[in-house]
Structure 1
Amino acid sequence: MNTGKTLFAQLMEFVPWKTFTRIVARRQGDRGVRTLNCVELFRVLAFAQLTYRESLRDIEACLSTQAGKLYHMGLRQAPPRSTLADALAQRDWRIYFEFAQRLIAQARTLYASEPLEVNLDETVYALDATTIDLCLSVFDWAPFRTTKAAIKLHTLLDLRGPILSFIHISDGKMHDVNVLDILPIEAGAFYVMDRGYLDFARLFVLHQAQAFFVTRAKAGLDARRLYSAAVDRNTGVICDQTIALNGYYSARKYPQTLRRIRFKDTVSGKTLVFLTNHMRLPPLTVAALYKSRWQVELFFKWIKQHLRIKQFYGTSENAVKTQIWSAVCVYVLVAIVKKALQLDVSLYTFLQILSVTVFEKTSLQQALAGLDYRTDITDFAKQMNLFEI
């Protein structure tokens, strides 16, 4: 790799530009555009994500100070914030959505051989949603409550990596369980969800598609025990049962048997009840699968802390979705580069180094050499009080 290029330029070399331009041509994204086409807008948004820019004025000021290096970034000049605002409002967000899907497919291929925390050969997905609060008077297209607007990110995370597999952006009113209606189902894969997704009709669709699910039972589940398997209570497994639903409507929605596993966590002391349609998996593996779901929670915390989706550069629906999908593209692109170059650093460290060195002319390997530490997400609620004795 040519070390005469900036780190940003080296990163952009991993972008499949032919694929991007084909998507733009199919969507006619640059039709009638004179300044800041779709490719240039992506480069600007990638720069803003990598350097943690907070506003259009911030982006304009930072790019203007690096006027001599803009050519090597693929930009003709520093775009004024009015041009940026117009581009965000007018460039079709579906272009960046489709491009994100191509990058996700590439990343999943690279990470297909990554080991799972659970000893399984099948693909394991974690499904969850997070809400991003907005101002109702500004984002009136995303109603949530009487005095608040919001959007939801419904995310399916492939736990090998972990790499995004599916994202759906909706308004805040859409219930989490409704995303199961549009979720791509892969036969033989495991879908791990919390009890907010406990809808027997939708779970039976997963079962009929020959996919497996692991979720938690709600309190007061009306079911009868058909069979109890022998368990070792010293492992924390209290019971492993085959059950059938008793409720008139629930039994019609899910007419097959289910497996109910009651497990006591020795660390927290909590007793958890899991439901799954996989009848042969060891009960401790089912508990470990549900525990692995926490990776999607960590992903939401990470992406909110380190990608620019908490403060939006535009207020229209198109501008918000363009920014979110660009952020997803940057996240997946960094994951691709990390794997392709076999860099032994976390994504957090990678992005932190890039944020202050994007204009440095050195190789990516050299810029990240020796940085083998990991930075965990800190639970500030457990932090000690400075004034406690």
Structure 2
Amino acid sequence: MNVGKTLFAQVMEFVPWKTFSRIIERHDGDAGVRTLGCADLFRVMAFSQLTWRESLRDIRALYAQEPTVLDLDASVYALDATTIDLCLSLFDWAPFRSTKAAIKLHTLLDLRGAIPAFIHISDGKLHDVNVLDILPVEAGAFYVMDRGYVDFARLYAMHQAGAFFVTRAKAGMDARRVYSDPVDRSTGIICDQRVILNGHYSAKKYPEHLRRIRFKDPESGKTLVFLTNNTTLPALSIAALYKSRWQVELFFKWIKQHLRIKRFLGTSENAVKTQIWCAVSTYVLIAIVKKELHLDASLYTCLQILSVSVFEKTQISCALQADRSQSIELPAANQLNLFNF
């Protein structure tokens, strides 16, 4: 009997459609559309994300009680970018090198829940550091970045906005020591210093003291030099904050493996960006479902279940249980074992 709603229909109920409609009206998204409006296009794209098996900011309230990095009473974000290679003959609007095209997905990941708080899609030529010019900065928050984002004028603007940054120093950084704090070298911390930049132009761009921490990683044996404008956290906590940056690398790896962003349904700039936004929106939507229904299953498990059962008519809270597959008992085999003597 055809009774009840499909799992896909139940998932779509978690989309804030009133807000969605207001955004469509604000940007005239359906202007000139005859058949497939923005809402229907999103449903189609979300369906393609879920059923392909490969497989924002407004959902922070759902993850507000999640533990933060090092239990800090502040938001912690990891900023990085990943490159998605394209064929130059098909995507000539996204030049990268002489023989290939590419786009970059610049992402600010909220480490409480691994939820993207900001995403900017650019061509492959845009340098990562330029994203700092359009990044929304939250006072009191920590922004963890690799040394590709070291630009002293931009870092000083972040400092003046009341935010904290944690990054790595570039090789050959010209700075002089002003003061050194005592350290316990057995922890891996070699030195914890206050420094000021020596270069004429660098000193103009960042006229205040920076904190420089030299740390020897006990696992790899590498010596890392961190830069931050935070002067209160212990040096080991700064090192741990930088280590947490790898969560954004894992996020990129995850979405490339499980969301449909390697092959595109269209070749225009708008088609590619729409597909990427729909992929990320699908990721966030499943994160909403997982949190609202208090599911123990991972996001990957939820997407895997939905990818093969979007047309099943069962309660979504039951369908997305992590142990669902384990609860299915296989019938006893009637076939005799040939090797059972």
TM-score w.r.t. the length of structure 1 is 0.81
CA contact (8 A) 2:94 2:101 kept: yes
User: In the alignment, is the contact (CA less than 8 A) between 2:111 and 2:247 conserved in 1?
Assistant: yes
Matched, 1:248 2:200: yes
Correspondences of 1:266-285 after superposition (within 5 Å): 266-285=218-237
Partner amino acid, structure 2, of 1:221: M
User: Cα offset for 1:105?
Assistant: 3.1
Q: CA RMSD in A?
A: 1.5
Q: Which of 284, 309, 326 is matched with 1:357 structurally?
A: 309
* 1:344–1:371 Cα contact (<8 Å) kept: no
1:216-365 residue pairs with structure 2 within 5 A?
Answer: 216-365=168-317
Distance 2:29 2:252 in 1: 30
Other structure's SS at 1:191 match: strand
Deviation per CA, 1:96-122, whole angstroms, max 9, x where unpaired?
A: xxxxxxxx1331111112102312111
Code of the residue aligned with 1:165 in structure 2: it is: A
2:160 matches 1:208: yes
- Give yes or no for contact 1:344–1:372 (8 Å, CA) kept in 2: no
Q: How far did 1:162 drift?
A: 1.1
Q: Name 1:49's counterpart in structure 2.
A: 49
Contact 1:177 1:196 in 2 (8 A): yes
The answer to whether the 8 Å contact 1:125/1:156 transfers is yes
Partner of 1:29: 29
CA contact (8 A) 2:301 2:322 kept: no
Determine the structure 2 residue equivalent to 1:6.
Answer: 6
Quick one: which amino acid aligns to residue 19 of structure 1?
Answer: T
Percent identical across equivalent pairs?
75
User: 1:370 offset after TM fit, Å?
Assistant: 4.3
* Whole-Å separation in 1 of the counterparts to 2:324 and 2:231: 41
Residue aligned with 2:71, SS:
coil
Are the structure 2 counterparts of residues 212 and 372 from structure 1 closer, same or farther at C-alpha, using a change threshold of 3 Å? farther
Matches within 5 A, 1:37-186: 37-52=37-52, 104-186=56-138
Q: 2 CA distance for matches of 1:43 and 1:369?
A: 24
Extract unaligned runs of 5+ from structure 2. Answer: 326-341
| TM-score, reference length from structure 2 | 0.92
Give the structure with the larger helix fraction.
1
| 1:123 aligned partner, one-letter code | S
Distance in 1 (alpha carbons) for counterparts of 2:19 and 2:32: 21
Whole-Å Cα distance in 2 between the matches of residues 164 and 296 of structure 1? 9
**CA separation of 1:36 and 1:273: change in aligned 2, threshold 3 A:** same
Judging changes above 3 Å, is the alpha-carbon distance between structure 1 residues 233 and 372 closer, same or farther for their aligned structure 2 residues?
Answer: farther
Instruction: Kindly indicate whether the alpha-carbon contact (under 8 Å) linking 2:57 and 2:116 is maintained by their aligned counterparts in 1.
Output: no
